[in-house]
Amino acid sequence: MKLYTYFRSSASYRLRIALNLKGVAYDSIPVHLLRNGGEQLQQAYRDINPAALVPSLDVDGVILTQSLAIMEYLDETHPGTPLLPSDALGRVTVRALAMLIAGDTHPLTNLRVLTYLKRELGLSEEVKLEWYRHWMREGLASVEALLAREAGNGIFCHGNAATIADCCLVPLVYNAERFEIDMGPYPSVVRIAAHCNSLPAFAAAHPSQQPDAE
């Protein structure tokens, strides 16, 4: 498998964790989101992923896109270490957490949105950062509230096994800390992310460990 990735991309980071948890080997193909006006925007990469977003996963010449969809694909094709609970209620809980992060929070803070706010709408760097931190705090507060309902249930987002929710949570926390968001109000988020980060599959997926890390 070939993973089109950028070391700091949280959607790529999700998928790197999932691949590591599954023990699936892959080659990284870096796509630099900032260099040359963004390599993701160049035609060569648009031919791979018309949405001009990373990650993309090349599986025997077939290009898969969308980190959540790919994680579910991996779960179906490599059932060894399940990334979803065996019960329907568990699965809906895990998918809800994953979508809260990947569907409701991350798109508001994505590079292309921040670039548009600054370049096209003329927002200052300071106001742009306030936008970023505002939506991150909203997302973190919602995740924290959902996780609090699960309190005592386990060491991960749901129970005692890592799921796609944890694959989404850890990159969210990485970004929040990078942008110096006070994590005090989100103790469950911090506790679970710290546990995940102590595990080799998560540690190896960290941006600092990637071949394109700067």
Q: Site residues (CB under 6 A) for ligand GSH? A: 9-11, 33, 38, 40, 53-55, 66-68, 102, 110-112
Q: Which is nearer to ligand GSH, 111 or 183 (CB)?
A: 111
Residue nearest to ligand GSH (CB): 112
Q: Which is nearer to ligand GSH, 9 or 105 (CB)?
A: 9
Q: Are 28 and 5 in contact (CB under 8 A)?
A: yes
> Amino acid identity of 181?
I
Nearest to 106 by CA among 139, 146, 57, 141: 139
Does residue 143 sit in helix, strand or coil?
helix
Q: Which is nearer to ligand GSH, 63 or 111 (CB)?
A: 111
β-pairing, 62-65 with 56-59?
antiparallel
Q: How far is the CB of 69 from ligand GSH (least distance, A)?
A: 8
Distance CA 26, CA 59 (A): 10
Q: Which is nearer to ligand GSH, 33 or 173 (CB)?
A: 33
Q: How far is the CB of 132 from ligand GSH (least distance, A)?
A: 13
Q: How far is the CB of 87 from ligand GSH (least distance, A)?
A: 25
> Amino acid identity of 176?
A
* C-alpha 76: how far from chain center: 19
Q: How far is the CB of 53 from ligand GSH (least distance, A)?
A: 4
